[in-house]
Structure 1
Amino acid sequence: MADIRLEGVGHSYDGGKTWALKPTTWTWRGSRAYALLGPSGCGKTTLLNIISGLITPTVGRIFFDDREVTGVPTAGRNIAQVFQFPVLYEEMSVYDNLAFPLRNRKVPKQEIDQRVRQVSRLLGLDHVLRRRSRRLDAGRQQIVSLGRGLVRSQVAAVLLDEPLTVVDPAMKWTLRSKLKEIHRDTGHTLVYVTHDQTEALTFADEVVVLKDGAIVQAGEPAELFLSPAHEFVGHFIGSPGMNMLPAEIAGDVVRVGQADVGRTAGEVLPPGPVRIGVRPEFVRITAPGNSPGLAAQVTGIDRMGAYDLVHTLVGEHPVIVKTDAGSAYEPDAVEFLHFPADRTFLFRDEVRCGSLAPLNGRGQA
């Protein structure tokens, strides 16, 4: 395994008019499992293919530990890569497909057999080892393809480009667990590309979030959920995503419309427009009392089984509240929303600039 270091790496497919990947400096630390998360077209696959050598970046340099590999072809980088769709020798058996990368590198026969059977057992392939790969369904073929990428014990990194796309949804939970188990066993540096937040948050030690070709935040799953540094992270992670409300700072008071909802925490922020971000899990609906609240009109309730999602409007702006199942709120009723100060953030130009402090000193806005 290796530290993979990018120094000012960027790529353009049109001669620099636009950037698929904006110049980026970043280090993927050895032996960690990373998820590269973002919507289609944000630069995830471009970045992965730059690391593997399938693409030479327009600008910047790439290092594996202290060795520069910017101009080194894929074969010279000792990388295992798994693509979105199966890449197999269809006439070979599953066993031979798994063994091929090791045979190609002259690994001793006994070690090949041991490694193939270990990966096969972890991925649930024991009962199809002697079957020809073309006779498997697409999902099982992709699992074999995944095994080919994981069977080598000595690689600089394993790169996975949305490897579970064609796998049956019921199998995905199991395979993510198996991937984590294999990662613990091998200590590979893993970089896993996905647009699925569930895959990213359940698999990775660290999640790197991309938007429009740039990294907007990276951190452990809990950090991204509880403390988003960018509006996009708040929106993209979470189901449903973070509520956003336009607000105004006047002095040190934060106002939504004519209602004072809190103060700016810590250092004084310049007056002017901001956006308040708070996740549905942390909004509370309470009767008006000593603590001020935002009046909101209930527009509907989604009964999700284990919980309810109460949809409201603050003025013209939607706010979703996650409540216990069986809530009795009625459409068109006016309720009052309270935001916990330690879970409510302020954003300017999409970037977090501060957080909310309570007006009354009790921890709620």
Structure 2
Amino acid sequence: MASITLDGLAHAYRPDPRGPQDYALKEINHVWRQGGAYALLGPSGCGKTTLLNIISGLVIPTKGRILFNDRDVTHLPTEARNIAQVFQFPVVYNTMSVRENLAFPLKNRHLPREAIARRVEEIAHRLDLSAVLDRKASNLTADAKQKISLGRGLVRSDVNAILFDEPLTVIDPHLKWQLRSTLKELHRALDLTMIYVTHDQTEALTFADTVVVMHDGAVVQTGTPEELFERPAHTFVGHFIGSPGMNVLPARVEGRTAHIGDVAIELVRAYPSLPAGERIELGVRPEFATLAGAGTGLPVKVRRIDDIGRARIARIEIAGHPAAAMVPDALALDGDTAGLRLDPRQVHIYAGGVLVEGETANREGGA
């Protein structure tokens, strides 16, 4: 087991990178603690698989170092790093039984037969494979084969880290929640460092204690699921996490007041010195924006209301800019004009896409 240190790590696939635009993975410095459950979250092409491949040894970084504990493994091959990796599609031996597949990594390390049997039974039970232990892998569904792949990654207790590269892609949707919960339980039981790559925010937020959000080759925020939701450090995080994502509206800010067109929003923090020349925006999640009757709160136009079962979401316009807000069950609208109430503690100001820390006001304000 190991902590993982990323020290000035960056990678370009072209041989002569001349600037940040040439790097698939821009410089990152971070320490991931031993036993942590991490997710690398972002859209396709954001650099998360490149980072995972550097950790596993499949890619040697252009710049920087990677350390397992205090050992520099930057140029060591995969087999010298003592890791397990689970890929997007099943990697199994079809001619072997499920039991033989799960036991294979342990037999290669010459563990005692009794210890192998106990460990295989434990992992098979947790992954709901006990009933098929003696069946050939070739006779199983894609779901079951991917469970075997997961089991082969989890069966060893001596690895420095287990790396998961979108491991639930081939799993039927109704089984995904169950397997995510199983992986979480196994992480707590095994105390192993686990790193999970995905573009699915639900997978990332339910599996990981710490989520690393990547965009355009860079890490834009690292934090707990709660931190990412309540205080996005970048507008991309606000857009990418949440359904619907955060409302991001162009704004002009003067002290403790933000102006969206001719609509004024009182803030709980003051912003006396925003960077000149940067795009200024106000961000608030729909969960912290509540529709009200006309004449109450901020004036908005209602374009439509979507009933998604667990909630009603209004698609609205604020000074001509589209946004989303929650609709209370008891609210009945008369026409397309309404009011909007914001939780002032959850209204954020961004400059050039980056969260700005304002000065705390002496009074609570809000719309």
Considering the TM-score relative to the shorter chain, is it more than 0.5? yes
Alignment of 1:257-276 (within 5 A): 257-263=261-267, 265-266=269-270, 268-270=272-274, 274-276=280-282
Q: Which residue of 1 aligns with 2:249?
A: 245
What TM-score results when the alignment is normalised by the length of structure 2? 0.93
AA at the equivalent of 1:163: P
Alignment of 1:25-40 (within 5 A): 25-40=29-44
Q: Which residue of 1 aligns with 2:309?
A: 305
8 Å CA contact 1:342, 1:357 repeated in 2: no
Could you tell which deviates more after superposition, 279-288 or 154-163? 279-288
Alignment of 1:78-227 (within 5 A): 78-227=82-231
Residues 240, 155 of structure 1: CA spacing in aligned structure 2 closer, same or farther, 3 A cutoff? same
Identity %: 50
| Partner residue of 1:286 out of 263, 270, 292 | 292
Residues 286, 323 of structure 1: CA spacing in aligned structure 2 closer, same or farther, 3 A cutoff? closer
8 Å CA contact 1:262, 1:356 repeated in 2: no
8 Å CA contact 2:267, 2:366 repeated in 1: no
8 Å CA contact 2:26, 2:218 repeated in 1: yes
Distance across 2 between alignment mates of 1:334 and 1:39: 36
How far 1:207 sits from its partner (Å)? 0.6
Distance across 1 between alignment mates of 2:255 and 2:46: 38
CA RMSD of aligned residues (A): 2.0
Distance across 1 between alignment mates of 2:365 and 2:181: 38
AA at the equivalent of 2:99: Y
Q: Which residue of 2 aligns with 1:335?
A: 338
Question: Any unmatched runs of 5+ in structure 1?
Answer: none
Q: SS where residue 295 of structure 1 aligns? A: strand
How far 1:137 sits from its partner (Å)? 1.0
Q: Which residue of 2 aligns with 1:10?
A: 10
Q: SS where residue 60 of structure 1 aligns? A: strand
8 Å CA contact 2:40, 2:196 repeated in 1: yes
AA at the equivalent of 1:21: L
8 Å CA contact 2:349, 2:355 repeated in 1: yes
1:251-297: per-residue Cα shift (whole Å, max 9, x none)? 443211122211461562338752110010110223466x7x33211
Q: Which residue of 2 aligns with 1:317?
A: 321
Distance across 2 between alignment mates of 1:251 and 1:271: 13
Q: Which residue of 1 aligns with 2:239?
A: 235
| Partner residue of 1:364 out of 352, 363, 366 | 366
AA at the equivalent of 2:356: C
Q: SS where residue 281 of structure 1 aligns? A: helix
How far 1:65 sits from its partner (Å)? 0.5
Q: Does 1:54 align with 2:43?
A: no
1:179-199: per-residue Cα shift (whole Å, max 9, x none)? 111111111000001111111
Residues 260, 357 of structure 1: CA spacing in aligned structure 2 closer, same or farther, 3 A cutoff? farther
Distance across 1 between alignment mates of 2:215 and 2:207: 20
8 Å CA contact 1:262, 1:358 repeated in 2: no
Q: SS where residue 13 of structure 1 aligns? A: coil
Distance across 1 between alignment mates of 2:366 and 2:320: 23
8 Å CA contact 1:295, 1:335 repeated in 2: yes
Q: Which residue of 2 aligns with 1:349?
A: 352
1:4-42: per-residue Cα shift (whole Å, max 9, x none)? 111111111122262111121111110010111111110
AA at the equivalent of 1:135: N
Distance across 2 between alignment mates of 1:325 and 1:138: 43
User: Which consecutive segments of 4 or more residues in structure 1 shift more than 4 A?
Assistant: 355-359
8 Å CA contact 2:166, 2:196 repeated in 1: yes
Residues 363, 249 of structure 1: CA spacing in aligned structure 2 closer, same or farther, 3 A cutoff? closer
Distance across 2 between alignment mates of 1:30 and 1:251: 44
Aligned residue pair count: 361
Question: Any unmatched runs of 5+ in structure 2?
Answer: none
What TM-score results when the alignment is normalised by the length of structure 1? 0.94
8 Å CA contact 2:38, 2:195 repeated in 1: yes
Distance across 1 between alignment mates of 2:268 and 2:188: 43
